[in-house]
Amino acid sequence: MFNETVKSRFLATLKRPANYRVFFNGFAEYEAKLGMDLALMTRAQIAQGLGSMDYIVYNVVENYISMVKQYLLWYADENPGTVTLEVMKLNWKDVDLTENIRHKLISSESDILTEFPDYRPTDGHFVIPVYLLAFYGLNLKAICSLKKRDVVCNSDSVVIVHDSAVLRIDSPVVAKALTDYMEWQGTKVKTASSEYTMVPEKTEMLLYRRLRGDDTKDYPPLVGDQVTARLYSIKNRVAGGHGYSFDIGEVRVSGQYLRMCNYFRQNGNWPDRVTLAEILGKKCRDDFERQRLIGGAELYQKVFGL
């Protein structure tokens, strides 16, 4: 943390300081660049610093702005006259996420396919199917809990039944990737640098586990942390030479923004909260959250020329 002594005093006043500590650690590089604590910055400087971080949705920005303001209020009590009313007017609209969206999000299925030419579903790799399902709205927990019987593939579409909800994906690309993966009959999966063995007999789960050591017992459903670790490893390896930068959360947000933009193109306005909840796959809490989501989608629309 920049100005760690002061910020540690502030953190000591909080019941749950963990999220604040994460933010301060992330913001420290920008503070060091300017050579000043964020409490001494102008409204524009703080906004620029927030925009330089890795955020891709304004709901996260809003959460951290609330933390910033709480810190500023504490700092003002400790140092009267240092924090101006103008700074306290900081809001999510001040923060420009254009470059984050440009470099961290994707605009189509082909962006996923072209990043992983060596991770073919026909060879038993789950990477492309997982990313495609995320692009169409499923989170990692939902993907890892899917059973084969939950997924019905046609030539140009996929129907998924999960938690009593039905998701239809009209995409020949997704249909082919899932079909290829589900029809794979091998046990050895090869990568550019290694080979590993999957569970000898396919389980009822859509995704199946890697066999480790001398284990031959039946495996429970594929756990999320194993998938997460594998995708993280792939991300960092590929990033070294190919400029790959998105992760599963960013792929999911990309799909959400794209569906919002498609709705806007078809209807001439942005979706209401009920429709937005269908697009997001989760409840939109209030109109303020809706406006922040629209703000991100508008930038996405601009960046990708939609």
Element housing 151 (H / E): strand 151-153
The whole-angstrom separation of Cα 9 and Cα 287 is: 36
Q: pLDDT band at 5, cuts 50/70/90?
A: very high
In a domain, 240, yes or no: no
Sheet holding 151-153, edge to edge: 151-153, 158-162, 165-169
Task: Report the pLDDT averaged over residues 256-276.
Answer: 94
Task: Judge whether residue 291 has pLDDT over 70.
Answer: yes
Pair (74, 126) in one structural domain = no
Q: What is the DSSP letter of 269?
A: S
Pair (34, 90) in one structural domain = yes
Task: Report the pLDDT averaged over residues 113-136.
Answer: 86
Pair (86, 30) in one structural domain = yes
Task: Report the pLDDT averaged over residues 84-103.
Answer: 91
- Cα 222 from chain centroid? 20
Task: Judge whether residue 93 has pLDDT over 70.
Answer: yes
Task: Report the pLDDT averaged over residues 134-153.
Answer: 87
In a domain, 158, yes or no: yes
Pair (125, 92) in one structural domain = no
Task: Judge whether residue 177 has pLDDT over 50.
Answer: yes
Helix (H/G/I), strand (E/B), else coil: 234? helix
User: How is residue 162 written in tokens?
Assistant: 């999960």
**How many other C-beta atoms can be found within 10 angstroms of the C-beta atom of residue 264?**
17
Structural domain that includes position 152 = 120-222
Segment among 146-155, 197-206, 292-301 with least mean pLDDT: 197-206
Task: Judge whether residue 293 has pLDDT over 50.
Answer: yes
Task: Judge whether residue 112 has pLDDT over 70.
Answer: yes
In a domain, 198, yes or no: yes
Task: Report the pLDDT averaged over residues 54-71.
Answer: 91
Task: Judge whether residue 241 has pLDDT over 50.
Answer: no
Task: Report the pLDDT averaged over residues 223-240.
Answer: 52
Instruction: Report the relative pairing of strands 151-153 and 158-162 from DSSP bridges.
Output: antiparallel
Report the mean per-residue pLDDT for the chain. Answer: 84
Task: Judge whether residue 45 has pLDDT over 90.
Answer: yes
Task: Judge whether residue 276 has pLDDT over 80.
Answer: yes
In a domain, 246, yes or no: no
Decide if 63 contacts 50 (C-beta within 8 A). no
Pair (125, 211) in one structural domain = yes
Domain boundary residue, one of 180, 195, 222: 222
Domain boundary residue, one of 174, 195, 222: 222
Phi then psi for 45, rounded to 5 degrees?
A: -65, -45
Element housing 297 (H / E): helix 287-303
Pair (213, 146) in one structural domain = yes
Pair (128, 91) in one structural domain = no
β-sheet bridge partners, residue 169: 158
pLDDT of residue 116: 80
In a domain, 243, yes or no: no
Decide if 262 contacts 277 (C-beta within 8 A). no
pLDDT of residue 217: 47
Tally of domains within the chain: 2
Q: Among candidates 74, 33, 79, which has minimal Cα distance to 52? A: 33
Q: Which of 50-54, 205-209, 255-259 has the highest mean pLDDT?
A: 255-259
Pair (48, 134) in one structural domain = no
Pair (90, 128) in one structural domain = no
Pair (206, 124) in one structural domain = yes
Pair (37, 129) in one structural domain = no
Q: Among candidates 296, 243, 253, which has minimal Cα distance to 98? A: 296
In a domain, 126, yes or no: yes
Domain boundary residue, one of 222, 239, 257: 222
Task: Judge whether residue 240 has pLDDT over 50.
Answer: no
Pair (85, 125) in one structural domain = no
pLDDT of residue 242: 41
In a domain, 263, yes or no: no
In a domain, 113, yes or no: no
Radius of gyration of the chain (CA): 22
